[in-house]
Chains A and B, each alone.
Chain A
Amino acid sequence: MAGTGKAHLRSSDNAVLRVEDLVIEYPGRDGSAVQAVSGISIDIVEGETLAVVGESGCGKSTLAKGIMRLINTSSGSVNLLGTNIAALKGEALRTVRPKMQMIFQDSISSLDPHLKVNALVEQPLKVWNRGNEEERKAKVRDLLTSVGLDPEVVGDRKPTEFSGGQCQRISIARALTLEPKLLICDEPVSSLDVSIQAQILNILQDMKERYGLSLMFISHDLSVVRAISNRVVVMYLGKICEVSPANELSERPLHHYTHALVSAVPIPDPTKVSGRAVLEGEPPSPTNPPSGCRFRTRCPAATDKCAAEEPQLTYAGNGHYVACHHPRA
């Protein structure tokens, strides 16, 4: 699963985001560098939702933060609408920021508890000096309404008065204030009740159509991903294992890791004895990743070749790419 290679990248004509060979390192304890993202390439075309799936520690959140330039990247390029933002600094970087926004898993702590909802949603407009007061107020009302909140009821209240689902709606409204082109959602529904998850996924879908957004959706849950995305990237320990259209991926997982992820999804039907491939153990430490394919230590099909040689992403038909020496049939 080492999955280097860029076979899955598409021609860049209508790409909103094109990331190539991105490497992100954190300083390790003894002065060495730990690679959290090891040469990832992804692209998102206009109007598309790309999901990034993987377990805790696979580097999916680091990837998102790197793209957002919330943390510094070590090498590689991040092209947002044709500009390599990995190389930008200072004011030049600041001016591209409105084009990309992010929402987080813990929506309650990502909103300033001292500000009222109106002020929270209006703040980006003030920072960027957009519109006069009246126009800003109208925009806030419009945004809150579009995420299913009543501006009259919620506008003068503070985030602590709301539930997790309602806070997530507020952060979506706030993220859309500056009309970004790209919205990165980092596990936006994983701390919500299933009934509320569905509401938020529907809102994201509506917002995407209404504001012409492209989404990057990060999750560990393939069933959530299937509901919202067009294309899915499966990550393991900083590398890509598999890239595929959403429906194709869950029906025909080619990588053994993806197969394990698919079969881990609980099926709400007690009569279905699922042929579950429960993945044993947890991912190895990124400080000392396995040689060759990084998944080989937990893989049921691993051979000597997997230890010696890193598999490359190769095309497997139906828009499906896999980085595995012994893919599932």
Chain B
Amino acid sequence: MSNLFDIGDLRITFDTKRGPLKAVRGVTLSIAKGESVGIVGESGSGKTVMSRASMGLLRGRRVKREGSVKLNGVELLTMTAKEIRELWGKQIAMVFQDPMTALNPVRRVGPQMAEALVKRMGMTKEAADARVLELLALVRLPEPDKQVVKYPHQLSGGMRQRVMIAMAIACEPEILFADEPTTALDVTVQAQVLELMGDLRQRLGMAMVIITHDLGVVATHTDKIAVMYGGEVVEIAPTKELFANMRHPYTEALMKSIPRLDRAPGERMPAIAGTPPDPVADRVGCAFAPRCAYATDKCHKEHPELTDAGNGHAYRCFFPLGGK
């Protein structure tokens, strides 16, 4: 498989009153054509900033961007706003967590979707209207012809998310970023939306990046998973390998904190004590060391590099768990 999308040593720094905020501190990640990748981490781990920067959404005087983001070998970071806008929708698209704020609240769903098709694909208005119905049927929205005349607030959360997905795939992008696509939804609807996204990916042959705080969400429907902490990838592996053979203590802690149906009721939840590291502060040792149950002096003093364990599995830890 050739690489569709290449992120190379990406660093994003925001200029803030408190000083430079290093949200992403050197992330390298490649995504093959049609591949599905999960990016997992807590709030503040840099997962959203990384994905938005990859989309070319973060720009301006107060954002310092280093490294590279290449789509089909073409560098995105140096593009002008106008150049990158040409790629949005057609090659690269995004679904956001909160469909209510991502949709225009004062326009009906149908015209809102059709507008994008007219502008991006050069369709006639009639062709665009027909395509909207097709797309809504594709995302299994019940009775599309009745939904297009509604305003976003008249739809349920799950239906709005389906509309968002339909809009994102309207121009058949090669890669779709989904930032916490199911977090605001009920579990039942979450299951429906995940099923749908997995199904669409196969049908359209697009690559997909699912960003989430919940390892359970990406256990199915992904080929590989990158775990982020403090702006870095701390572990990356093919999905099955990661769940079978977790090496980083943070990954393990995240896994243990998921509420599960097979745990005894009333049993104390293994929470991760402490809070994520301050993104402004300078860092010496391992980012996770202050919260890590296994940390030693070395972890507080030296910064671990990403160690390749073969089979596409790499981790950033001096004292990895398990090991064969």
Q: Which residues of A contact B (CB under 8 A)?
A: 55-57, 163-164, 191, 193-199, 201-202, 205, 220-224, 226-230, 245-247, 250, 260-271, 276, 278-282
Contact = CB atoms under 8 A, between A and B. Distances in A.
B94 to A, nearest CB: 21
A257 B267 CA distance: 26
Contacts, number: 141
Given A220-B187, A270-B219, A197 B257 contact: yes
Nearest to A164: B43
B1 interface: no
B271 A199 contact: yes
A139 B220 CA distance: 48
Given A202-B268, A221-B259, A266 B192 contact: no
B239 A270 contact: yes
Nearest to B291: A195
A269 B213 contact: no
Interface in B252-304: 253-255, 257-261, 263-273, 275
A184 B258 CA distance: 23
B79 interface: no
Contact of A246 (B43, B219, B265, B272): B265
Q: Is the interface of B mostly helix, strand, loop or mixed?
A: loop
A265 B261 contact: yes
A194 B187 contact: no
A266 B222 CA distance: 13
Given A194-B213, A195-B254, A279-B188, 10 more contacts: A56-B189, A196-B271, A229-B265, A247-B264, A266-B220, A267-B219, A267-B260, A271-B240, A271-B243, A279-B191
Given A56-B156, A224-B259, A269 B266 contact: no
26 contacts: A55-B186, A163-B43, A194-B214, A194-B215, A194-B254, A198-B269, A198-B271, A199-B273, A222-B261, A226-B259, A226-B263, A227-B263, A227-B265, A227-B267, A246-B266, A247-B265, A260-B188, A264-B187, A264-B188, A266-B191, A266-B217, A267-B260, A268-B216, A268-B243, A279-B192, A282-B159
A282 B259 CA distance: 25
A278 B142 contact: no
Interface in B128-167: 142, 156-159
B190 interface: yes
B191 A276 contact: yes
A164 B271 CA distance: 16
Given A265-B187, A270-B239, A278-B195, A223 B260 contact: yes
Contact of B257 (A198, A220, A245): A198
Contacts of A260: 188
B213 A281 contact: no
Interface string B212-254: 0111110110000000000000000001100110000000011
Nearest to B273: A199
B42 interface: yes
Nearest to A271: B240
B188 A268 contact: no
B243 A195 contact: no
A47 to B, nearest CB: 12
A264 B191 contact: yes
Contacts of A228: 266
B158 A266 contact: no
B316 to A, nearest CB: 18
A268 B219 contact: yes
B186 A195 contact: no
Contact of B157 (A56, A222, A247): A56
A198 B268 CA distance: 9
Contacts of B258: 194, 223, 268
Contacts of A227: 259, 263, 265-267, 269
A271 B255 CA distance: 15
Contacts of A246: 265-266
A182 to B, nearest CB: 19
A223 B268 contact: no
A270 B220 contact: yes
A276 B187 CA distance: 12
Nearest to B260: A223
A266 to B, nearest CB: 4
Contacts of B217: 266
Given A55-B189, A195-B42, A282-B158, A163 B265 contact: no
A250 B219 CA distance: 21
Of the candidates A246, A262, A270, the one having the most CB atoms from chain B within 10 angstroms of its own CB is A270
A282 B187 contact: no
A197 B183 CA distance: 13
Nearest to A266: B216
B214 A250 contact: no
A226 B272 contact: no
A298 to B, nearest CB: 10
A196 B243 CA distance: 21
A163 B187 contact: no
Given A227-B259, A247-B265, A261-B187, A195 B240 contact: no
Contacts of A223: 258-261
Contacts of B216: 194, 265-268
Contacts of A264: 187-188, 190-191
